[in-house]
Structure 1
Amino acid sequence: MKLTSSITDYDQSWPRLFSEEAGRLQLVFGDACINIHHVGSTAVQGLAAKPEIDILAVVSNACSLDDWQAELTGLGYRRGKDLMEGHHFFKRDVGGIRTHKLHVCVSGHSQITRMLGIRDHLRSNSCDRRAYAELKLRLEKENRTGIAEYLAGKAPFLDELYRKDQKKT
């Protein structure tokens, strides 16, 4: 079964696409926004990825989530299933093609450290970056049931990267 997008070689336009979208999102979150980060594989130069810009918005509180959701809908986002308690997920498609994934977490949430740690590890470790690209391409090729299977296949590798990163600190 096909994933939400096919994995492609790294695209030099991904950082620019992130920056443009971060500017739009900053207006939505306003004063509650602490930071907006480019995360996921499109944030790692040289890493093959699904061309879907992953964005992490760190906010001071989620009290305005309903208001933000209405504004995000106006920007083309729709609510996805929350990934865990306090980790809110939105997705944006343009012309039926997934272009952006937005993670919204309140400052201090464990997923913030995890996403940034994995991203930073992959940015600085070419061996792990290569191994991750190979794993993703193999999982895409072998995939039979869709995105959940693909994500489950990547999880042990990402868990190990995070453990490596945590041992450094």
Structure 2
Amino acid sequence: MRKVEVVTYSEDWKKDFDEEAMRIEKIIGSEIIATHHIGSTSVNGLSAKPIIDIMPVVRDIKKIDTFNHAMIAIGYEPKGENGLPDRRYFQKGGDNRTHHVHMYEIGNPEIERHLVFRDFLRVHPNIAEKYGDLKEALVKKFPYDIESYISGKEQLASEIEREALEWYKGID
């Protein structure tokens, strides 16, 4: 059973993202339009599971499966859509995961959703702190129960997402 871990923000996460994004960009090449650091490790000061979430935006999602062997060669496990249509998902690190890669084709609404959530937390450190505090409390309560941990933060994450979308619409 994998232990759920939430740690305080690390300045190393940005460097880890940059290094890994370069590796992935070398493999996927011109198919990548942009690569974004998403998830809690992308928000300065936010406590997080120490797993770097990377979101490459690609030209054609159907072509990504042709890169599976190259991704395996740098330590990733291809998971296909992994429950989300039109996404390609990869994990690195086995039971001690270090990276998640979420690839979407340009125009997929999931791209905006991830970026708006991240940017909202970056601009609202008080909300990021509240989110981090909840995650720290949940990991203490459910150290070996990832489902309960995820379920416990779902309501607040949904509230933040709604607020973030309203905020984003207001800055257009």
Tell me if TM exceeds 0.5: yes
* 1:87 equivalent in alignment to 2:83: no
Aligned residue in 1 for 2:65: 66
Aligned residue in 1 for 2:106: 107
Residue 137 of structure 2 aligns with an amino acid whose one-letter code is R
**CA root-mean-square deviation:** 1.8
Higher normalized helix content (fraction of residues): 2
Residue 124 of structure 1 aligns with an amino acid whose one-letter code is V
Question: For residues 159 and 79 of structure 1, do their structure 2 counterparts lie closer, same or farther at Cα, with a shift above 3 Å needed?
Answer: same
User: TM (normalized to structure 1)?
Assistant: 0.91
Gaps of 5+ in 1: none
Q: How does 1:13-28 map to 2 (within 5 A)?
A: 13-28=12-27
* 1:46 equivalent in alignment to 2:45: yes
How far does residue 65 in structure 1 lie from its aligned partner after superposition? Answer: 2.2
- Within 1, Cα distance between the matches of 2:127 and 2:76? 32
- Within 2, Cα distance between the matches of 1:160 and 1:109? 22
Cα deviation code 1:75-127 (max 9, x no counterpart): 10002361410122111007x52111110111111211111111111111011
- Within 1, Cα distance between the matches of 2:153 and 2:78? 23
How far does residue 139 in structure 1 lie from its aligned partner after superposition? Answer: 1.4
Gaps of 5+ in 2: none
Preserved CA contact (<8 Å) 1:78 1:91: yes
Preserved CA contact (<8 Å) 2:61 2:88: no
Between the two proteins, the alignment pairs up a number of residues equal to 167
User: TM (normalized to structure 2)?
Assistant: 0.89
- Within 2, Cα distance between the matches of 1:48 and 1:34? 29
Aligned residue in 2 for 1:165: 164
Identity of aligned residues (%): 32
- Within 1, Cα distance between the matches of 2:143 and 2:96? 20
